[in-house]
Structure 1
């Protein structure tokens, strides 16, 4: 019945995604909006640009398996923004895997992705479904930049990648949904040392953990560090997720990036005394935030002041946002390369809507050009160069240069 369904269209990012698709989906594409409340879906549809005001509406609830089965069977591609994914996402993935429906999400939750792999990868490979996680700011820029670096090094005969570090700078805000996902993951860790160990494993998302090399990986957290060129860096809040997606991409391709790949991410905070103070503040703030989220009493206090689910930055703030990622790499032959990825608009919302929108459009329109893969995938392994081309056309930057 449909080419593409947006599930969670009444949420904050879901509305942004629907608006993007109404402006960029080609004429004639059969798009529908899905969620729990038909009334709210009608409100979202009425506010869309003209091209989206005749889209279909589908009622579905993640707690109702029959509705999810009907939803998945009604469309070729499903893009979902319904989180926290660990709480609501697995039944959606399972329904798509069984139906052979391609799937894309915005998760930044390691444990959810691991569960989805374990439950759905084999089924999706049998049905031909591409299950593509992390199709937003988590983790498309990280994943595609590393893929491009490895390709350039290969073309130059420079060997596999050895040491790769991403430095992220951005301007943007937080939505209630992002905070709710953080909260749900911290709640899941309480009293379960097995899950804590899994989160600490740099190769937890590997398709073959026993085959991973013993190469030590950069830490995801630590003290502020000054780089040789004078920049200050601090721990990057998205590193514990992004790094594992990149390592999964490497392993899914037979470690094509390099068997000895060491991949890490940090946040750039600037130069001089101000950069040092900012780095210290970020590092201390992350420790305080994780500690507060780890305890039920402090989580309850934070709930009173943090944004509620379904809320996020206003339009003016989203327009002023931007992101830039600089990824430096050294190869096994000692050659050095740099990738840059960037875009304008709040990275977690405005540019994320572009990323998920273009990922979904690639799944609908570019099937014959995509890598010949099915199962539980990453942006690089499912969409690869096709997504790079689409994002460049949408105004994002993806470049690689030799140094």
Structure 2
């Protein structure tokens, strides 16, 4: 089936979920009017209620039903559209059949996954098929891991343009303001449950090159610890472990490898969270470190995980509109190069990073896949934002109000 024979340019699967509703609203406001968009989910009635609350012509978008437990419904859904973007998580529980349906149908795919185990299994199952059908399978298209992936790409491009050689020591410091969602907690829970069933998966999670396309070919460059203790930067800022570093770092390293280590075979990439300066910054760093250790430790054991289930937000919930509006994110990435020059990239935007800003990132990813195909890198298979979309996504996000810039440090 050719692209012209598809009924839809873009389908949002999971449109009645928390992020799905935000994504639908973004597309209703920013997609060109001629874009053929449909909304899908398990319950046609719930999806229709979301559609009916959208502005203007979006109220006429088709509503489709599909269930991740029904492979035939997913195959039919994928066959109807050029692009399928899914917010249905945890992806480790519900995502693999969707990826498989898109890979087989030659349908471009985007998700919000921040789950190493899911992405690793999706690569193993679907990369070869997707390359054969021409499908671009793009994981990690939200706050996890678009700022990390695109900022590192821009740093490598600037260093190459200046003749500075490949990147060496690269460190991202993330600061943000926003809320937490039950969906994010549920993703962490799903991975903890998977490890509980199969202890060998711990080695996958611990491997700094867990998402590599060719693990044996990876260089032996030492990588930073994901859970480094509180530390102080040369300019006096305190840092703590960043909750998404164990995922984002693997995505960036996969981007490097997929491009023949274009960023540099000596790339050492790490991420931390900025905690502020002075005694207050030190206290924040210590507190965040202890809290993350406590939560992840409790997630590892069924009895304590059950206690957390009663205390943490439930799936389908998320921050209020007021919290989303007041949120923001800023990722500052410092990089050294092979010839000793240094550069700094900044990726920043308004809105709660995991939800309001993520809806922008995922929405622009979906529109790029649907509308900018002739400008995208000539790649198919299991990809990352940088390798699938590159500068096209950077341009779209800048136009949407996000900052992506690089300058000498």
* TM-score bucket (shorter structure): over 0.9
3-state SS of the aligned residue for 1:304? helix
3-state SS of the aligned residue for 1:234? strand
Q: Corresponding residue for 1:223?
A: 229
Distance in 1 between residues matched to 2:369 and 2:192, nearest whole Å: 32
Matched, 1:139 2:149: no
Going from structure 1 to structure 2, the CA distance change for 1:2 and 1:191 (only over 3 Å counts) comes to: closer
The gaps in structure 1 that reach 5 residues or longer are none
Matched, 1:64 2:70: yes
Pairs within 5 Å for 1:31-42 = 31-42=37-48
Distance in 1 between residues matched to 2:64 and 2:107, nearest whole Å: 16
Q: Corresponding residue for 2:277?
A: 271
**How far 1:223 moved relative to its partner?**
1.1
Summarize deviations over 1:18-50 as a string: whole Å, max 9, x none.
Answer: 000000010111100000111101110111111
Summarize deviations over 1:189-229 as a string: whole Å, max 9, x none.
Answer: 11523200011000011001000001110000021000111
Q: Corresponding residue for 2:154?
A: 148
Summarize deviations over 1:311-369 as a string: whole Å, max 9, x none.
Answer: 10010110000000000000010000000000000000000000000000000110000
Q: Corresponding residue for 1:114?
A: 120
Q: Corresponding residue for 1:351?
A: 357
Q: Corresponding residue for 2:132?
A: 126
Contact 1:23 1:51 in 2 (8 A): no
Summarize deviations over 1:258-303 as a string: whole Å, max 9, x none.
Answer: 0010000000000000000000000000000001111111111111
3-state SS of the aligned residue for 1:193? coil
**How far 1:146 moved relative to its partner?**
0.2
Pairs within 5 Å for 1:1-400 = 1-400=7-406
Distance in 2 between residues matched to 1:353 and 1:71, nearest whole Å: 22
Q: Corresponding residue for 2:4?
A: none
3-state SS of the aligned residue for 2:313? coil
Contact 1:370 1:383 in 2 (8 A): yes
Aligned residues: 403
Distance in 2 between residues matched to 1:130 and 1:275, nearest whole Å: 42
The gaps in structure 2 that reach 5 residues or longer are 1-6
Distance in 2 between residues matched to 1:304 and 1:176, nearest whole Å: 11
Contact 1:79 1:360 in 2 (8 A): yes
Distance in 1 between residues matched to 2:41 and 2:373, nearest whole Å: 26
Summarize deviations over 1:176-201 as a string: whole Å, max 9, x none.
Answer: 11111110001101152320001100
Distance in 2 between residues matched to 1:301 and 1:290, nearest whole Å: 13
3-state SS of the aligned residue for 1:280? helix
3-state SS of the aligned residue for 1:158? coil
Distance in 2 between residues matched to 1:222 and 1:323, nearest whole Å: 21
3-state SS of the aligned residue for 2:331? strand
**How far 1:127 moved relative to its partner?**
0.2
Distance in 2 between residues matched to 1:31 and 1:192, nearest whole Å: 40
Distance in 1 between residues matched to 2:31 and 2:110, nearest whole Å: 16
**How far 1:239 moved relative to its partner?**
0.1
**CA-atom RMSD in angstroms:** 0.6
3-state SS of the aligned residue for 2:363? helix
Distance in 1 between residues matched to 2:158 and 2:393, nearest whole Å: 17
3-state SS of the aligned residue for 1:313? coil
Q: Corresponding residue for 2:3?
A: none
